[in-house]
């Protein structure tokens, strides 16, 4: 069958979106390696630097694209600024926990946290939005709960890093869905509202003699690069999510924790004892159940949409079936 120019353009757009989304998750998956290189800098200072350099990088990008009027429009809306301030605080907490986990070689817990994040998002939708769980979702959440219990038993303590990462990112996603703002302008506003605190905190460290910038030229470049590794995957993700079905995005998001899992074993040399392996196995089972249910419901929705369109077309032409 010959491809029309329009169909070819749509296909190219989908391929670009797919590549963008995969690129975002691959970058997020390799972030532990980046922050491992910054191990000499305290995690709290890395977060402050990340905020500052995000403002610089995204601000330059917004000015170059002549989109800074979108930022000013947000700042004129007090309600949106308040919501983005709250989401910014949650995001900063997520960054701090992530970097602390990497510094203390607990990347397996990071991986576990982001594996359960989709199920946490489902739970938040049920609690905060009154959404009803399907049978498949209920089964997936039940299996994940057992996995969390096994993880706690295997670690000998509550897996607070995993759950804190999953819940902070889940809550952040929920909050951002409630604010009508683009990815880049939203990130700029979030970083900008935290900028005074970040500058004050680094200034206080400077007065105390505890400020660490990078140690050498390479370290300084890596610190400044935190703005790049923050903004680039978010912009790629925004491009992907604009043109791909959420079910596709939901499946692609497993790229990042899968890479975290591999890095934890191969690079960080973290032990994978039988109990922890069993918890991961159960999480993977729950994700299979969750994804299968997601795909089944999407297929049903598409079929229902086609049936409705066919019925409407038949009614419009006066055809009785």
Output the 3-class SS for 59-128.
HHHHHHCCCHHHHHHHHCCHHHHHHHHHHHHHHHHHHHHHHHHHHCCCHHHHHHHHHHHHHHHHHHHHHH
313 band by pLDDT with thresholds 50, 70 and 90: confident
pLDDT of residue 9: 58
Inform me whether the pLDDT recorded for 316 exceeds 70: no
Distance, CA of 59 to CA of 75 (rounded, Å) = 14
Percent of residues in the chain assigned helix, strand, coil, to nearest 5: 85, 0, 15
For 103, the domain range is 15-117+159-272
315 occurs within a structural domain: no
| Other residues' Cβ atoms within 10 Å of the Cβ of residue 167 | 20
78 occurs within a structural domain: yes
279 occurs within a structural domain: no
| H or E element at residue 305 | helix 274-317
296 occurs within a structural domain: no
Average pLDDT over residues 276-281: 86
Most confident of 78-82, 141-145, 183-187, 279-283: 78-82
227 occurs within a structural domain: yes
3-state secondary structure of 157: coil
Average pLDDT over residues 80-87: 94
| Other residues' Cβ atoms within 10 Å of the Cβ of residue 273 | 9
Average pLDDT over residues 176-202: 90
pLDDT of residue 237: 82
What tokens does 259 get?
């890479």
Most confident of 91-95, 138-142, 252-256, 283-287: 91-95
Measured N-to-C along each axis, helices 160-177 and 135-155 cross at an angle, to the nearest 10 degrees, of: 140
Q: What value does the mean pLDDT of the chain take? A: 84
319 occurs within a structural domain: no
Distance, CA of 38 to CA of 32 (rounded, Å) = 10
Q: What is the pLDDT of residues 15-54, one digit of tens each?
A: 888 888 889 999 999 999 999 988 888 999 999 999 999 9
pLDDT of residue 73: 93
pLDDT of residue 55: 94
Q: What is the pLDDT of residues 92-114, one digit of tens each?
A: 999 999 999 999 989 999 998 89
289 occurs within a structural domain: no
* Cβ pair 40, 219 in contact under 8 A: yes
136 occurs within a structural domain: no
289 band by pLDDT with thresholds 50, 70 and 90: confident
Q: What is the pLDDT of residues 116-164, one digit of tens each?
A: 887 787 777 777 777 777 888 788 888 888 888 887 787 677 789 999 9
pLDDT of residue 321: 46
Domain count, the chain: 1
Q: What angle do CA 240, 242, 244 make, to 5 degrees?
A: 65
* Burial zone of 147 (CB within 10 Å; 0-12 exposed, 13-18 middle, 19+ buried): buried
* Burial zone of 291 (CB within 10 Å; 0-12 exposed, 13-18 middle, 19+ buried): middle
């Amino acid at each position: 069958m010959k491809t029309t120019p329009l169909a070819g353009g749509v296909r190219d757009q989908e391929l670009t979106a797919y590549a963008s989304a995969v690129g975002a998750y691959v970058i997020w998956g390799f972030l532990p390696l980046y922050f491992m290189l910054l191990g000499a800098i305290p995690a709290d200072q890395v977060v402050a630097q990340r905020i500052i350099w995000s403002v610089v990088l995204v601000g330059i990008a917004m000015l170059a694209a002549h989109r800074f009027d979108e930022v000013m429009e947000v700042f004129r809306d007090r309600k949106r600024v308040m919501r983005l301030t709250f989401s910014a605080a949650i995001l900063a907490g997520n960054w701090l926990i992530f970097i602390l986990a990497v510094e203390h070689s607990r990347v397996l817990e990071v991986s576990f946290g982001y594996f359960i994040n989709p199920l946490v998002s489902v739970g938040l939708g049920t609690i905060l939005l009154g959404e009803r769980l399907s049978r498949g979702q209920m089964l997936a959440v039940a299996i994940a709960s057992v996995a969390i219990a096994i993880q706690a038993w295997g670690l000998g303590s509550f897996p607070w890093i995993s759950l804190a990462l999953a819940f902070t990112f889940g809550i952040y996603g929920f909050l951002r869905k409630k604010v009508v703002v683009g990815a880049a302008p939203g990130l700029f506003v979030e970083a900008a509202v935290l900028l005074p605190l970040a500058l004050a905190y680094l200034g206080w460290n400077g007065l105390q003699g505890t400020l660490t910038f990078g140690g050498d030229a390479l370290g300084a470049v890596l610190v400044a690069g935190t703005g790049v590794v923050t903004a680039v995957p978010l912009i790629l993700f925004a491009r992907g999510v604009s043109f791909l079905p959420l079910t596709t995005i939901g499946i692609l998001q497993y790229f990042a924790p899968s890479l975290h899992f591999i890095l934890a074993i191969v690079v960080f040399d973290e032990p994978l004892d039988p109990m922890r392996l069993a918890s991961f196995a159960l999480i993977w089972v729950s994700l299979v159940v969750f994804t299968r249910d997601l795909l089944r419901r999407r297929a049903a929705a598409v079929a229902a949409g086609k049936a409705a369109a066919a019925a409407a077309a038949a009614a419009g032409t006066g055809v009785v079936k």
